[in-house]
Structure 1
Amino acid sequence: MTGFLASALLLFAIAVVILWHRLKRSDALGIDGRLIWVDDGRRTKPFFNARYKVFGKPDLLYRVNGGVLAVEYKSRNGPIFESDIVQAKCAALSARGDQYKVSRILVKTGQAEKYITLPRSDRALYREIESATILARKAKNGEAVPCLPAPRKCRSCAYRDHCRESAGN
């Protein structure tokens, strides 16, 4: 019986050490990894991927098992929109252009979070955001782009009171 008790105590101690180690390594977002880059706002230069000519910067980069995790945090309490995911993918592709091997993204709002595993190749990742990138370039160049009003998105838009196309009014 004493041998059994000693074995049980040893297993319990090992479990406590493993649990403590895991909790110590994860941060306030629950990410098990090491923070390696932070967007400090306007002072922080965006990443650039020269091959695909995209700029972007995630909010955070973590070194995790399997590569780098890019985090895009939205302060709103609403859902995650497709545009949030496209923005995070663009930031990941941009960071890859500066030698950060981003393999996953986390898009997080006050009420939701979504992890997405990215394609290994930059080309495949760019294909996922190419249509949005083309629209953004057209808008930047002053070209007319299609308006895609969505009631949930329009309700939280800062321009909804001045927009003729708003679906939230």
Structure 2
Amino acid sequence: MEVKETGIEGLVEIIPAVFSDDRGFFTEIYNRQNFVKSGITTEFVQDNLSYSVKGVVRGLHLQYPPHAQAKLVRAVKGRVLDTVVDIRPGSDTFGKVFQCELTDKKNNALLVPAGFAHGFAALEDSIFLYKCSSHYAHEFEGGICWNDPELAINWGIEKPIISEKDSKLPSFKDFQSNFNKVS
């Protein structure tokens, strides 16, 4: 397993060892012992799976403290453009957007710490798996509008399919982060 730094504190890409032959392949997608050896100590309590047709954009989502979630995300099938925004006040990278293509061919994952808004675009029909460090709590959910002009995110989709809920999220400018300040 390779842990690749992204330039944003706590946000790392994880590239597992993949063993392939003419029958297919095998890979460990999560092994707590190996994660801890690599310095990743996040405890996960919930797994979620979603299916999105090509062109769907989901996000940008988050949960507020005390139910903030770190996520370990990956495309089990297909290809997605995973996108995160640092929403930690005082962080050197506050408001910075990071994108990473996650594919079933590469089997890579992204560890998204709490304090980030998260979303993805399905570049092809995709099954998306994410482990969460906190249980979902409806009353603590929030987000930022996917097409916020200040963030200027290129989702790689010409005509995105957006949920009504996601289209009504606030702009980054109007978003109120209550995550702890980073010193």
Bin for the TM-score computed over the shorter chain: under 0.3
More helix by share: 1
**Normalising to structure 1: TM-score of the pair?**
0.26
If asked which structure has higher relative contact order (CA below 8 Å, sep 6+), I would say 2
Mark the structure with the bigger radius of gyration.
1
- Report the TM-score when normalising by structure 2: 0.24
